[in-house]
Amino acid sequence: MGLWGDLKGYTVRWRHLQQVVKDPVLREALGRAMTRFTRERDKTLKAWGDFRSWVEHGKERKEKALSEADGLWEKVKTAIEARGGHFFMAADAATAREHIGKLAQASGGDMVVKGKSITSEEIELNPYLESLGLEVVETDLGERIIQLAGERPSHLIVPAIHKTKEEVAALFSKVWGRDVPEDPYLITKEVGKDLRSKFLSASTGITGINAVAADIPAFFLMTNEGNGRLCSTLPSTQIILTGWEKIVETVEDAFAIFDILPINSAGLRYSSYLSIFTGPFQWRRGRSMHVVVLDNGRKKAMEDPILKEALRCIRCGACMNFCPVYRTVGGHTFAKIYMGGIGAVWTAITKGVEEAKEVASLCTGCGTCLEVCPMGIPIPRLVERVKELAKEGGEAERLAVKVVSKRRVLESAAGLSHLAVPREIRNLPGPARAITQERVLERPQLPPFHPWAITQGLEVGKGGEATLYVGCMIEYIYPEIGRDAVGLLTSMGVSLQLMHEECCGLPAKAVGEKGLWRELAYRNLVSVPLDKPLLFLCATCQSGFHSYLEEGFSVPEAYSLCQYILKKLGGGEFPGVYEGRVAYHFPCHLERHLGIKEEPLELLRQVQGVELVEGEEAHLCCGGAGLYAFKYPPISGEILKKKLDWIEKEGIQTVVTSCPSCIMQLRGGVKKKGMPVEVVHMATFLLRAFKRARGL
């Protein structure tokens, strides 16, 4: 495509995304649903028990079942066939479609009723059955809505989540040729009446399945409308379509999934219906039961040490409910059959990495999903793996990564920018205007941090009790943060030394350049002393070094600034004074990827005069995510607006954070809106508070 073509492609996507994020109907539909789901989940979980302990247990049991899956499925096959059922293992989507098509054609009728099944969407079952002359009727309310609208599901649990009740009423009014009230209860009743005749006349019923217990064996199906049970029992031919990964060892394991699935998905303590099938339900002669188990890339994924973790997914959809990108653009934009970050991984498994790379590129890697996944799936790490396999980044993105990965190139670029660019950039020209639509950009500052630090007597590789790593953004864009950190720590009696820094490599890893990431890791680890603590001022860089550890490298003991200061205080109070309403913005990499949550708040509470504003919004992603704000500015800007709305509503005067990327995003946003709010790094805030306590 070339660099120019790559840039043109981005501008086309920006225009599309601009339309999506400004769609008032989508905004209202997603806002209603996501607010309700997340609120009810949190409330129900508090009354239910220890979520984290369940995660560990569920993860362990599911991993064990997957490691023994072929043997467990053989046990299921033997039992089902002994009970008069039929079992078929489909290697790929085409094989599954053709087998189900033959069964439906042989059933003696031309109508198929279906329960909700994302696996059937994966194999594109409906169009195939319709091409055979069969009428396919979706019986789940959400699936029926999107079927009549000619659309795809946009959520795993609530397929029509992107539609308002007003839209749904208008759709059924058009289909039925009469006025349908804008009342969800009445709409549901009317759809039930309409479907009743379909259930009674259908010759084939197809459902998905939530879990398969190998010990009985038994197939478990959860629904809230009862339609799955009718699909499975009334037609003469019952077809269960399930993925190879749905197997568990015992009935207890299956029930454990049903304990958490409704709570995590929508905050429901129980689903309305749980159906368990152990063989053909012979309420009349001639009924048959067929089990179709789909591989379609799942067994191959088991060979990948990272991708195989996706096979634990129980399709609860919670990762989407909390994902800032999904909540901004919905499940039609952020999807390729499967939705969200986990959807990118499932698309890679079932359709190939080329199909998945655009969906993967929309993921910010914020890690919100890490906190809500009931199976402990490290979704951001899996998305990185998809990007690595797909070489996701285009030429423009790769060029940007190469610039930030090479210190000399970056230093030259920063110097030229300082000479040629105004202090603040409020409006970029042409299509690039999207980048500055919701924020102001600041030019790099001079001198860079390291030359300044050397003039202050800091040395590379010697002379300090701790090694300071500042990262590219502080080095060239915000060197004052580094200066403030040195001033603060020196005042506290801490001696520092420098290192020959290279980029932490996280930008390279984020676009799938694992080779470049590994090269940068080697260069950094050669330069850093392993026997001294490594102190970080950038949440992203600290997370980048943590990824070295995950890959088996030896890394020195790492600390964020807050962690190190608390350690030096040894239980004492930080001597600081600072009056005003202050909020801490939790950087995603620090909080979710590294689990550093309480230390910043502990320090801020110790500063006299601080009125600390807390709340769920303090934990929201700001939409910066390094290069993401430049790659997808419409999404980044929309996420930022939610954060700014909270800051404005709470009357916050100072926002403190520990990530220069977040500072760029938040500071740029408050300047664009003209808000009387200061956004500062923790080092700057604490130094000011420290000086005020001493009357300086």
Say how far apart CA 613 and CA 504 lie, in whole Å: 32
pLDDT of residue 432: 84
- DSSP 3-state of 502: coil
| Element spanning 580, H or E | strand 577-584
Place 393 in a pLDDT band, splitting at 50, 70 and 90.
low
DSSP string, 617-686: GGGS--S-TTTHHHHSHHHHHHHHHHHHHHHHHTT--EEEES-HHHHHHHHHHHHHHT-S-EEEEHHHHH
Tokens 């964020």 sit at which residue?
A: 560
Q: What is the CATH number of domain 62-297?
A: 3.40.50.10420
Strand runs labelled E in 109-267: 111-114, 135-138, 204-207, 211-213, 218-223, 237-243, 247-248
Distance of CA 409 to the CA centre of its chain: 32
Sheet containing strand 111-114, edge to edge, reads 86-90, 288-294, 237-243, 204-207, 111-114, 135-138
Instruction: Tell whether pTM > 0.85.
Output: yes
Residue 97 reports pLDDT greater than 50: yes
Peptide bond into 676 cis (omega under 30): no
User: Are the C-beta atoms of 584 and 656 separated by less than 8 Å?
Assistant: yes
Structure token pair of residue 656: 């403190």
List residues bridging with 681 in a β-sheet. Answer: 657
Say how far apart CA 94 and CA 390 lie, in whole Å: 24
Least confident of 1-10, 325-334, 664-673: 1-10
Q: How far is CA 137 from CA 96, 198, 207, 288, 580, in A?
A: 19, 8, 12, 20, 60
pLDDT tens track for 427-453:
998 888 889 999 999 888 889 999 999
- DSSP 3-state of 132: coil
DSSP string, 241-298: EEEGGGEESSHHHHHHHHHHHHHHHHS-SS-SEEEEESS---SSTT-EEEEEEE-TTH
552 phi-psi bin (left φ>0, alpha ψ -120 to 50, beta other): left
Least confident of 131-140, 550-559, 628-637: 550-559
* Torsion angles phi and psi, residue 358, rounded to 5: -70, -40
Instruction: Tell which wins on pLDDT, 65 or 505.
Output: 65
Say how far apart CA 144 and CA 140 lie, in whole Å: 6
Say how far apart CA 350 and CA 297 lie, in whole Å: 5
User: Are the C-beta atoms of 214 and 121 separated by less than 8 Å?
Assistant: no
Question: How buried is residue 478: exposed, middle or buried, by Cβ count under 10 Å (0-12/13-18/19+)?
Answer: buried
Residue 3 reports pLDDT greater than 50: no
| Element spanning 105, H or E | helix 93-105
Instruction: Tell which wins on pLDDT, 555 or 403.
Output: 555
Q: How many CB atoms lie within 10 A of CB 642?
A: 16
pLDDT of residue 82: 97
Angle at 32 between CA 30 and CA 38, to 5 degrees: 90
Say how far apart CA 234 and CA 260 lie, in whole Å: 29
Instruction: Tell which wins on pLDDT, 224 or 683.
Output: 683
* Torsion angles phi and psi, residue 427, rounded to 5: -145, 110
Place 551 in a pLDDT band, splitting at 50, 70 and 90.
confident
Q: Which long-range contacts (CB under 8 A, 24 or more apart) does 432-437 make?
A: 434/11, 434/14, 434/18, 434/633, 434/634, 434/637, 435/629, 435/630, 435/633, 436/672, 437/633, 437/634, 437/637
Residue 478 per-residue DSSP state? -
pLDDT of residue 6: 56
Peptide bond into 217 cis (omega under 30): yes
User: Are the C-beta atoms of 677 and 670 separated by less than 8 Å?
Assistant: yes
Cβ contacts of residue 421 below 8 Å, gap of 6+?
A: 443
Say how far apart CA 280 and CA 458 lie, in whole Å: 77
Instruction: Kindly report, as residue ranges, where domains of CATH 3.40.50.10420 are found in the chain.
Output: 62-297
Average pLDDT, the chain: 93
Give the side-chain half-sphere CA count within 13 A for 293: 21
List residues bridging with 276 in a β-sheet. Answer: 220
Query: What is the total residue count of the chain?
Result: 696
Residue 431 per-residue DSSP state? G
Q: How many CB atoms lie within 10 A of CB 442?
A: 18
Query: What percent of the chain has pLDDT above 90?
Result: 80
Place 2 in a pLDDT band, splitting at 50, 70 and 90.
very low
Least confident of 99-113, 122-136, 173-187: 173-187
List residues bridging with 442 in a β-sheet. Answer: 424
pLDDT of residue 408: 72
* Torsion angles phi and psi, residue 425, rounded to 5: -110, 110
208 phi-psi bin (left φ>0, alpha ψ -120 to 50, beta other): beta
| Nearest by Cα to 113 from 228, 218, 193 | 228
Max mean pLDDT among 225-229, 307-311, 447-451, 554-558 falls in 307-311
Say how far apart CA 603 and CA 616 lie, in whole Å: 19
- Range 668-689 average pLDDT: 97
Cβ contacts of residue 152 below 8 Å, gap of 6+?
A: 121, 146, 332, 335, 337
Buried b (16+ CB within 10 A) or exposed e, 27-48: bebbeebbeebbebbeebbeee
Residue 4 reports pLDDT greater than 60: no
The CATH architecture of the domain made up of 568-693 is: 3-Layer(aba) Sandwich (3.40)
Say how far apart CA 151 and CA 283 lie, in whole Å: 36
Q: How many CB atoms lie within 10 A of CB 275?
A: 21
pLDDT of residue 514: 83
Say how far apart CA 203 and CA 107 lie, in whole Å: 6
